Structure 1
Amino acid sequence: MISYVSVRYEDRPRGRVAFVAIENERKLNAASSPVMTALTELFHGLAADLALRAVVLTGSGERAFIGGADIDEMSGLSGPVEARAFISRVHEVCQAIRATPAPVIARINGWCLGAGLEIAAACDLRLCADTAMLGMPEVKLGLPSVVEAALLPSLIGWGRTRRILYTGETFTAADALAWGLVEDIHPPAALDDAVEALLAQLFEAEPRAVQIQKALMQRWEELPMSGAIAAGIEAFEDAWTTSEPADAMAAFRARRRAAKAVHPPPPRRR
Structure 2
Amino acid sequence: MAGSAHGDIPLTTISFSQRPNGTVATVTVSNPRKLNSLNTTVLDAFLSCVPPLAQRSDLRCVIVTGGLCSVGQQAFIGGADISEMKDFSNAEAGRTFINKLHLACKALRNLPVPVIARVNGHALGGGLVVMASADLRIATSDARFGMPEVQRGVPSTIEAAMLPAQIGAARARRLLLLGDTISAQEAESWGLVDKVVQADQLDEAVEEWVDRLLKNGPRALRIQKKLFAMWEQVPLREAIEAGVWEFGTPFEAEGFEAEGRRMMNEFQMQNRQRKSRL
Question: Structure 1 stretch 235-244 or stretch 107-116: which is displaced more?
Answer: 235-244
2:126 equivalent to 1:115: yes
Partner of 2:172: 161
Q: Please state how far the C-alpha of 1:257 moved relative to its aligned partner.
A: 2.4
Match among 222, 228, 234 for residue 211 of structure 1: 222
Q: Deviations over 1:28-80 (max 9, x none)?
A: 11111111121122111211111111111100116110000111111111111
Match among 7, 27, 30 for residue 23 of structure 1: 30
Equivalent residue pairs, number: 263
Match among 197, 208, 218 for residue 186 of structure 1: 197
Partner of 1:234: 245
Q: Please state how far the C-alpha of 1:262 moved relative to its aligned partner.
A: 2.1
Q: Please state how far the C-alpha of 1:153 moved relative to its aligned partner.
A: 1.1
2:276 equivalent to 1:261: yes
Structure 2 CA distance for aligned equivalents of residues 239 and 152 of structure 1? 32
Q: Please state how far the C-alpha of 1:95 moved relative to its aligned partner.
A: 0.6
Q: Please state how far the C-alpha of 1:108 moved relative to its aligned partner.
A: 0.7
Structure 2 CA distance for aligned equivalents of residues 154 and 209 of structure 1? 24
Match among 260, 266, 276 for residue 245 of structure 1: 260
2:234 equivalent to 1:223: yes
Q: Deviations over 1:195-236 (max 9, x none)?
A: 011111111211110011001011101122111111211221
Structure 1 CA distance for aligned equivalents of residues 149 and 227 of structure 2? 32
Q: Secondary structure at the match of 1:101?
A: coil
Q: Which runs of 4 or more aligned residues in structure 1 lie more than 4 Å from their structure 2 counterparts after TM superposition?
A: none
Query: Would you say the 8 A contact 1:47–1:100 is kept in 2?
Result: yes
Q: Secondary structure at the match of 1:234?
A: helix
Q: TM-score, normalization: structure 1?
A: 0.94
Q: In structure 1, list runs of 5 or more residues that go unmatched.
A: 264-270
RMSD, aligned α-carbons:
1.3
Structure 2 CA distance for aligned equivalents of residues 103 and 2 of structure 1? 26
2:12 equivalent to 1:9: no
Q: Secondary structure at the match of 1:72?
A: helix
The aligned amino acid for 1:14 is N
Match among 142, 164, 171 for residue 153 of structure 2: 142
Query: Would you say the 8 A contact 1:212–1:239 is kept in 2?
Result: no
Q: Deviations over 1:69-93 (max 9, x none)?
A: 1111111111111111111001100
Structure 2 CA distance for aligned equivalents of residues 2 and 74 of structure 1? 25
Partner of 1:82: 93
Structure 1 CA distance for aligned equivalents of residues 33 and 55 of structure 2? 31
Q: Secondary structure at the match of 1:153?
A: helix
Structure 1 CA distance for aligned equivalents of residues 182 and 277 of structure 2? 52
Query: Would you say the 8 A contact 1:25–1:59 is kept in 2?
Result: no
Structure 2 CA distance for aligned equivalents of residues 2 and 209 of structure 1? 35
Q: Secondary structure at the match of 2:50?
A: helix
Q: Deviations over 1:142-187 (max 9, x none)?
A: 1110000011111110000011100011111011001011000011
Percent sequence identity is 41
Partner of 1:91: 102
Structure 1 CA distance for aligned equivalents of residues 249 and 155 of structure 2? 40
Q: In structure 2, list runs of 5 or more residues that go unmatched.
A: 6-10
Distance 1:76 1:241, change over 3 A: farther
Query: Would you say the 8 A contact 1:68–1:112 is kept in 2?
Result: yes
Q: Please state how far the C-alpha of 1:2 moved relative to its aligned partner.
A: 5.9
